[in-house]
Amino acid sequence: MINTRSIEGGSMSMEVVPLRLQPGVDLRRALEAWIGEQGEQAGCLISGIGSLSVAQLRLAGASEATVIRGDLEILSLCGTLSSDGAHLHITLAGSNGAAIGGHLCGGSLVRTTAELVIGLLPEWRFRREHDPTTGYAELQISRKGPCPPDSRQPLWGLGGCHCLQARLALLAASRRFRGGIAQAAGQRVKR
């Protein structure tokens, strides 16, 4: 278990789990099944490499998956895992070295191996709910148990768990990021 300290002085933990998938395994479905067996409700992919023989990707802006067959190297795999679904992005390269990436869909089969490092977040709960704005099941984040007393003030006018918003302060060190979040929330940014 990795313990870290946040700006507010509270602590959060992450259990890091290595996982290797064998040839022929459906990468996405195996990850969704695995997180469902863990008893945790929040996880993230820290690292993912290996190879696929078939990839099903939903490319940016597309509504259907594109099927790619061949010897495909997994250059990166990242995303969030919850017991009710995953949001996974993958970057692949074919035998000519050209890269392609998108949302990893079911039906993507391991060719030789998939070597994964997964972080389980026992203090958090991830779930997916339909968002009428995007049309997709989007990530909803909440903290298990009470929020630390010093993290109850909402940041940037965003809804959701105030604990998460306090944790986002770690990422808001750069002015550009803070401005981007405020603009995404429809607020004016003072420079």
Tens digit of each residue's pLDDT (9 = 90 or more) over 16-66: 999 999 999 999 999 999 999 988 789 999 999 999 999 999 999 898 999
pTM of the full predicted structure?
0.72
Q: Say how many domains are in the chain.
A: 2
Q: Domain containing 95 — which CATH number?
A: 3.30.1330.80
Q: Which domain holds residue 115?
A: 2-120
Residue 20 and residue 81 share a domain: yes
Q: What is the pLDDT of residue 75?
A: 98
- Tell whether the torsion through CA atoms of 91, 75, 139 and 68 is positive or negative: positive
Backbone φ and ψ for 68, nearest 5 degrees, come out as: -125, 130
Residue 137 domain flag: no
Q: Do 24 and 76 share a domain, yes or no? A: yes
Top-confidence residue, 171 or 1 = 1
Contacts of 25 (CB under 8 A, 6+ apart): 109, 110, 114
Residues 62 and 12 in one domain: yes
Residue 38 lies in a domain: yes
Of the three residues 102, 120, 138, the one that is the final residue of a domain is 120
Quote the CA–CA distance of 6 and 47 in Å, as a whole number: 23
Q: How far apart are CA 40 and CA 109, in angstroms?
A: 25
pLDDT tier for residue 147 given thresholds of 50, 70 and 90: low
Backbone dihedral angles phi then psi of residue 163, each to the nearest 5 degrees: -60, -45
